[in-house]
Amino acid sequence: MPIHEIRESIELPSITLDSNGFGIIQKVINLKENMSHKMIQCDAFQDNPLPKFSGDTYLMELLVTPTPVIYTDMTIAGFPSRSPSISNENILFKEYFSNLSVVDRLSFPNRFISARPTFTWYMPKLYLTLFIHGEPDAVFDDIAIGVYCAIEAKKASLVTYGMGVIREDHIAQVAAVMSNGRSIEPARNVGQAFPMWKYGGVRPELMISGQSLANFFNRTDSQEPQNTNTTARLRRMAQDARQMQPNLDAFGTAVTADGAIPSWVRLELFKGVESGAVRDQWPPTKYADNGNTLTF
């Protein structure tokens, strides 16, 4: 397959950052249509390693993508509007240039991975984008960064090409997503999935007060006089018994007007005592003497 070598640069005599200390420079390279493109190698070089900057600290993000880049609401080194993460599949190459030694010349893919073919795309474009971060209204002079790309191109069917272009366009639309993980409290990490033996023993249970709820379980003859609970109270207790709780805590509700209500109360509910809305049976059912359901 033919391999095309591209050597381009982003050069600008001067750029003034906005009130947030952010600026964007972009350049587009046209490629052949109806082709599948594979990145063989990619590298960047700062032709002017000592640019003139009116502020104290600057950080530049260089991106090579098949679509325009949308900045995100995330921050980088305290500066706003970071570029999309490399988990976005439209990011073919990314490198930092900064006067902060911690991040200067960090790149993706790294030198080992980029020495062999990596990513494939179908868009007939290649965008070189430079995000510049610094102090508000700062002036950056003599920006010059060169990019080298070796690209393998081969003919693709119209269906494959069309679906590939649509996919990359859709990926570009969600590039600004900034939160896709979940936070786990360190105290809950061990045992949340495994190993369960870290917890040991059985799950605790709540104790019910016999003084206030004795009549709840006292199944006596309907003719024997006694103090009884109201239907509303029984339903409230049933609802408290069904409450789910975080791991290691007892099921049920620990603090109510009737005291602690354990989860096993729901096993002793009288017929007709439910909590919440009860759906009507529809269509209605009718049974024969032998218990079979009749069909209307």
> Are 93 and 166 in a shared domain?
yes
pLDDT at 211: 62
234 within a domain of the structure (yes/no): yes
189 within a domain of the structure (yes/no): no
pLDDT at 215: 54
204-226 core/surface letters (b: 16 or more CB in 10 A; e: else) = eebebeeeebeebeeeeeeeeee
Helix axes of 231-241 and 210-217: crossing angle, nearest 10 degrees? 110
> Are 25 and 165 in a shared domain?
yes
pTM above 0.85, yes or no: no
210: left (phi over 0), alpha (psi -120 to 50) or beta: alpha
> Are 25 and 167 in a shared domain?
yes
> Are 143 and 23 in a shared domain?
yes
> Are 82 and 205 in a shared domain?
no
287 within a domain of the structure (yes/no): no
Q: How far apart (Å, rounded) are the C-alpha atoms in residues 275 and 252? A: 14
> Are 146 and 23 in a shared domain?
yes
> Are 121 and 89 in a shared domain?
yes
232 within a domain of the structure (yes/no): yes
| Two structure tokens written together for 162 | 């069309």
> Are 147 and 258 in a shared domain?
no
Task: Confirm if 41 and 146 have CB atoms less than 8 A apart.
Answer: no
179 within a domain of the structure (yes/no): no
Residue 206: closest CA among 240, 165, 250: 250
> Are 30 and 138 in a shared domain?
yes
Q: How far apart (Å, rounded) are the C-alpha atoms in residues 2 and 35? A: 11
Domain count, the chain: 2
Pick the last residue of a domain from 138, 173, 208.
Answer: 173
For residue 87, the SS3 value is coil
281 within a domain of the structure (yes/no): no
Residue 241: closest CA among 270, 218, 261: 261
78 within a domain of the structure (yes/no): yes
Task: Confirm if 146 and 45 have CB atoms less than 8 A apart.
Answer: yes
pLDDT at 9: 93
pLDDT at 105: 82
* Pairing state between β 59-65 and 252-253: unpaired
Q: What is the pLDDT along the chain (296 residues), one digit of tens a residue?
A: 678 899 999 999 999 999 999 999 999 999 999 999 999 999 999 999 888 999 899 999 999 999 999 898 888 888 999 999 998 899 999 999 998 887 888 899 887 776 677 899 999 999 999 999 999 999 999 999 999 999 999 999 999 999 999 999 998 887 776 667 778 778 777 766 666 666 666 778 888 876 656 555 555 555 555 556 677 877 888 888 888 887 778 889 988 887 888 888 888 776 667 666 555 666 667 788 888 888 76
Q: Which domain holds residue 254?
A: 196-218+227-268
> Are 87 and 213 in a shared domain?
no
Name every residue whose Cβ is closer than 8 Å to that of residue 274 and which is 6 or more positions away in sequence: 235, 238
164 within a domain of the structure (yes/no): yes
> Are 165 and 203 in a shared domain?
no
> Are 111 and 242 in a shared domain?
no
